[in-house]
Structure 1
């Protein structure tokens, strides 16, 4: 292992040591040690169906992510390529970007009911405007000269879109996907806390009622670990594929 690899993990290890030392010094239930958090993690994993709650939350994240990315990319391209449509839709987009997530969640629950459809809809509605805004900027700067060359070589509209147009949007799509994932899973937890009877958000709410700080940190650690795995196993490999494709 190179020196740089050691340095990469030096700060987290030092923070962990400081946490253990300071928590042992304070000796309070309000400030659990890493060992106590680990014990809570093992207990929740073995006795309290942590994997089930994680799976339910990740399923909601997945559905909301797919819906928001598909609709956001479509509307973003349309607004970026058609100035008149963009001019008409821009006030609505600004409004959607500035509506608080909590308001959208409450309105969905009140209008649809405390059901799964309302939960997923609320999360997707909060993310779609952000995707639209990012994709719109990418569609605006697409190289029209390349599109003209594709027309000269008589490529079909479908091939022009997938071979010439869409690859120029890949960096914007990846950026919106990354920010989307970080935003969606946070909103999903709020949705679960307010109106669902399962999932990580529900468990956090239950632990909050019992003032179980170690349990809250244990679930936080588990969920953040899953997100890190998604980043390492999905987004970074996709980044490399996109970079090679553009090169």
Structure 2
């Protein structure tokens, strides 16, 4: 009887957990609305302050003015081109920076001599400000797409490299010893032990790297760009158009958040095996 009761209880909680985590559960929509609450309050206060003259329109135009400018750029077809080229640059730089970071992180994580060779210069380069690279990349590669993508990849590289190295070096030594007891080859140890154990750190590095990619694209689009959200930002500054500047900033925020959300979904799917802490509320 107790066994049947336990099975029923287990089945009930399993169904309950599945329902609460499903996309149709009201609590899921509640979380979305909570996330929208603070931005909505900021927009309402901002609009009120602008209409009451608490802030000058030439310094901070009202959200309705920014929305009008956004619609104008969209209807002209100009905005789609700016968004497309910026997204292309960010994701090309993200891919390049991540691949190089993974290769070097694996070398440094597994071989001490590789750490002695590569890590000091990587740590030194990490302290160089992003804008310091701009004249050098223009000198080396001109003002074409290659210099812009390389610039973004530099920003992506460091968080991916640092987090993956940290993840590899913090793998439990006992797990490796168990793998050796079962006579796993080096590649099998990497695939079955090291990769799953370092995956949380690696995914955090990817999210941080993508965030820096969106920041570095502004510096990259200073290098003679004629299109892109960073170019639109500079254009607004040169033409004394604060609404154009804010349209660009808002789009950076929205697209950056959407790209991070995609990586967060990937993280949740790949780390389902983790027995994570469950927060209250």
TM-score w.r.t. the length of structure 1 is: 0.91
- 2:38 corresponds, among 7, 11, 21, to 11
Tell me how far apart the structure 2 counterparts of residues 127 and 10 of structure 1 sit (CA, whole Å): 31
Helix, strand or coil at the partner of 2:39: helix
> Residue 196 of structure 2 corresponds to which residue in structure 1?
167
Cα RMSD, aligned residues only: 2.1
How big is the shift at 1:165? 1.2
- Match of residue 76 from structure 2: 47
Higher gyration radius (CA)? 2
Deviation at 1:92, TM superposition (A): 0.5
Corresponding residue to 1:126 among 155, 158, 163: 155
Q: Aligned partners of 2:266 and 2:240: how far apart in 1?
A: 41
Verify the 8 A CA contact 1:104 1:126 in the aligned structure 2. Answer: no
Aligned twin of 1:205: 234
Tell me, in whole angstroms, the C-alpha distance in 1 between the residues paired with 2:160 and 2:92.
15
Deviations 1:151-191 (A, max 9, x none): 33233433322221111111111111111111111111211
Which of 146, 153, 166 is the aligned partner of 1:117?
Answer: 146
Query: 2:57 matched to 1:22?
Result: no
Alpha-carbon contact 2:90-2:213 (below 8 Å) kept = yes
For 1:91 and 1:157, the matched residues in 2 are separated by: 27
Residues 167 and 246, structure 1, Cα contact 8 Å, conserved in 2: no
Displaced runs of 4 or more, over 6 A: none
Question: Partner of 2:115 in structure 1?
Answer: 86
Q: 1:214: Cα distance to partner? A: 0.7
For this pair of structures, how many residues does the alignment match? 246
**Structure 2 residue 180 is the aligned partner of structure 1 residue 151:** yes
- Answer yes or no: is 1:241 the counterpart of 2:263: no
Deviation for aligned residue 1:48: 4.6
Q: Distance in 2 between matches of 1:100 and 1:7?
A: 36
1:64 aligned residue: 93
- Which among 255, 266, 275 is matched to residue 226 of structure 1? 255
- 1:137 deviates by 1.6
Taking the aligned partners of 1:23 and 1:130, their CA distance within structure 2 comes to 39
Q: Work out whether 1:191 is the aligned partner of 2:203.
A: no
Rounded to whole Å, the distance in 2 between the matches of 1:9 and 1:126 is 29
Q: 1:87 and 1:34 mapped to 2: Cα distance?
A: 53
Quick check: which one's helix share is greater? 1
Work out the CA distance in 1 between the residues paired with 2:88 and 2:107.
29
Q: Which runs of 5+ in 2 are unaligned?
A: 1-25, 276-281
In structure 1, what is the Cα distance between the partners aligned to 2:186 and 2:274?
Answer: 20
Query: Distance in 1 between the 2:34 and 2:86 partners?
Result: 34
CA distance in 2 between partners of 1:125 and 1:169 (Å): 22
CA distance in structure 2 between the partners assigned to 1:205 and 1:33 by the alignment: 20
Shift of 1:7: 4.7
Inter-partner Cα distance in structure 2 for 1:62 and 1:8: 26
